[in-house]
Amino acid sequence: MSLPKRHAFSAWAGLLGGALSVAEGILILSKPGYYDYDSPLDYLVLVVEGAALLVLLAALSGLHARLATGYGRAGTAGFFAALAGTALAGAGHVGAVPFFDFLNTGGMVYPLFALKQGVFLFGGLAYVAGAILMSTGYLLLGAAAARAGGLPAWCGFALVAGLAGLWLGNAAGWISFGLAWAFVGYALRSSGG
Q: Which residues of 64-98 are buried (b: 16+ CB within 10 A; e: fewer)?
A: bbbbeeebeeebbbbbbbbbbbbbbbbbbbbbbbb
- pLDDT recorded at residue 78: 95
- pLDDT recorded at residue 116: 47
- pLDDT recorded at residue 107: 44
The values of phi and psi at residue 2, to 5°, are: -90, 150
**CA 108 from chain center: how many Å?**
26
* Secondary structure (3-state) at 170: coil
- pLDDT recorded at residue 162: 94
Largest CA distance in the chain: 58
Give Cβ neighbours of residue 70 (< 8 Å, ≥ 6 apart).
147, 148, 149, 150
- pLDDT recorded at residue 105: 47
Q: Please identify every stretch of the chain with a pLDDT value under 70, giving residue numbers as ranges.
A: 1-7, 35-37, 95-123, 192-193
Are 155 and 187 spatial neighbours (Cβ–Cβ below 8 Å)? yes
Can you spell out the DSSP letters for 7-27? HHHHHHHHHHHHHHHHHHHHH
pLDDT in tens, 48-94: 988 999 999 999 999 998 888 888 899 999 999 999 999 998 887 77
Element (H, E) at 143: helix 119-148
Which ranges constitute the DSSP H helices of the chain?
5-30, 40-67, 72-94, 97-104, 110-117, 119-148, 154-168, 171-190
Sign of CA dihedral 18, 6, 47, 112: negative
- pLDDT recorded at residue 133: 95
What is the Cα–Cα distance from 83 to 44, expressed in whole angstroms? 24
- pLDDT recorded at residue 175: 95
Helices (H) and strands (E) in the chain, counts: 8, 0
- pLDDT recorded at residue 97: 57
User: pTM score, two decimals?
Assistant: 0.82
